[in-house]
Amino acid sequence: MRQGIGAAMVKRVTRTSEIAKLIRKHGFECSVKLRLGLDKYEKEKGAYLNLIENVEASFFVVHTRTARQTLDNGADFSVYPKCVETGKPIIANGDIKTRAQVEKLRSEGLSGAMIGRAAIENPEIFRKLRLKD
């Protein structure tokens, strides 16, 4: 964050867009993984939506915490409907641990889910997500 990279890129829409264009120019698909902003203020101002709306990428992985939030603060799934409204493919990320969560996210129009920490805690999660309980 101090160097203006990583989570701080959510505010650097022009720079992020330039990077995405460069990647696509060389024939590659480009995705963007982002947080909701550095802090609550940026989240409330919709920094993440501004980036999604103004960067051309194949899809966006939205981690529903700010950079300053700890794991003790749960992910904020309430932002997903606004993300989906952009018309861009959105992949959910953050605190996704159950099949019910994945099904709910899909019913809300998300294109998929990215699972990270839950897979480390429970490597069986992918099998459980594939099989009906």
What mean pLDDT is predicted for residues 79-102? 94
Tokens 């999660």 belong to residue: 125
Domain boundaries of the chain, sorted by first residue: 6-130
pLDDT digits (tens, 9 = 90+) for 19-47: 999 999 999 999 999 999 999 999 999 99
The torsion region of residue 72 among left (phi > 0), alpha (psi -120 to 50) and beta comes to alpha
Number of H helices, E strands in the chain: 7, 4
- Mean pLDDT over the full length of the chain: 91
Q: What is residue 38's predicted lDDT score, i.e. its pLDDT?
A: 92
Q: Quote the CATH superfamily of domain 6-130.
A: Aldolase class I (3.20.20.70)
Q: What is residue 1's predicted lDDT score, i.e. its pLDDT?
A: 47
Q: What share of the chain is helix, strand, coil (3-state, %, to 5)?
A: 45, 10, 40
Question: For the residues of 53-104, what is the DSSP string, one character each?
Answer: HHS--SEEEEESS-TT--TTSPP-GGGHHHHHHTTS-EEEESS--SHHHHHH
Residue 8 CA to its chain's centroid (Å): 14
